[in-house]
Amino acid sequence: MTDNSADLVILGGGSGGYACAFRAAELGLSVVLVEKDKLGGTCLHRGCIPTKALLHAAEVADNAREGDQFGVKSSLEGIDIAGVNSYKDGVISRLYKGLQGLAKANKVTLVEGEGKFVAPNAVEVNGQRYVGKNVVLATGSYAKSLPGLEIGGRVITSDQALTLDFIPEKVVVLGGGVIGVEFASVWQSFGADVTIVEALPRLVPAEDEYASKQLERAFRRRGIKFKTGVKFSGAKQDDNGVQVTLENGDVLDADLLLVAVGRGPNGADFEAAGVTVDRGFVITDERLRTNLPNVFAVGDIVPGLQLAHRGFQQGIFVAEEIAGLQPKVIDEAGIPRVTYCKPEVASVGLTEAAAKEKYGSAEVFVYDLAGNGKSQILKTAGGVKLVKAPDGPVVGVTMVGERVGELIGEAQLIYSWEAYPEDVAPLIHAHPTQTEALGEAFLALAGKPLHVHG
């Protein structure tokens, strides 16, 4: 093969693209990976990693402020935003260096520059054409806005929010999904006055209604204001601030308006090369093949959950598919979902509403964290909700509480192995841990409610 041809040419070096590249290289395939910005994509540089670093800094601030609750005399002297950003950037930098090292170790040819998919087997970068026996489209997503709402000045997206060198006094967050509630959580912990505006009837509307109610209760206690079921109407800004108007006539004044209305796919350009695209999303079959032979798509440009770990798994899947290993199709419902605000929301499988739609009915059990020793030690409220198919396995788990994102691994195993409550009830959970809450919920659903008042 020439330098400009390979078994795989991958367009985009985010979670989906680099996972595909590394796995394909492991399997002995030659790989060209094209990235216009930095290896690691949105997740590492403008998404999951920096936001979670900010959320951890926010947790440390809360711990300092609330030490009295635990008999510890501590107070919060303030937030050094330059120090916070330095900590966040240090985390990104170390992970980025690690990725670059892996690309070299795997002998992946990394091409820096903006790539264009110009033919069913070719990508062009900086005037050079790279030809692949297979092409993988992994161009990710961008922060969306609303029609007529210009981003600029005091109107920002998560991209700008991550690089702010000041803490706003008053913020309006447009959108009560994952990105919106995470930033609202950070800014509230940093001392800002925060109001969330969500057009749908509840916060985190994609989650089970139980999670929304728990989160809304926690946010009220924290002083985070939110208006649900009301639509944005317009925004005006000047040197002093931004004025946000809502369709119900409410007017909100703030220093910043964060537009967190979701992410749009970077797939529209592929139509010209003959790929079937719908509103910017690349349409694939369950094996992630597009309508063109030997052209695949992974990550945020494929309709479904826009999550880094979904893209990562899809990248591995496509590499193995190309290598002829016939990997098992990814079950979209089995992809865990975590929102890292305070408290966290973690879920896998079906919500109660989705299960009822699929099966006609569902058995549901909720275990309150008030009965869990470790949750009492941590002073966190929330619970575990299990959704079971009629005469069938558990098909959904939703958890709310501090650190429950760390528990979703077990819930995912339970969902994936299609376990019945009596399969899980005998498993022993270490005491005192929050995983016991999951164990107790399954004991109760199996008819052995030891710490539950009937």
Per DSSP, the three-state class of 124 is: strand
β-pairing, 128-137 with 295-297?
A: parallel
Verify cis geometry, omega within 30 degrees of 0, for the bond prior to 205. Answer: no
Residue position matching structure tokens 């680099």? 18
Which one from 45, 431, 451, 453 is the annotated catalytic residue? 431
Q: What are the beta bridge partners of residue 386?
A: 365, 397
The helix (H) or strand (E) run that includes residue 226 is strand 225-228
Closest alpha carbon to 352 in 211, 253, 224, 215: 211
DSSP 143-198: E---TT---BTTEE-HHHHTT-SS--SEEEEE--SHHHHHHHHHHHHTT-EEEEEE
How far is 333 from 349, CA to CA, in rounded Å?
5
Q: Which amino acid is at 80?
A: D
> Which of 416, 407, 415 shows the shortest CA–CA distance to 436?
407
Catalytic site residue 56? no
Q: Give the three-class secondary structure for 320.
A: helix
**Where in the sequence numbering do the catalytic residues fall?**
431
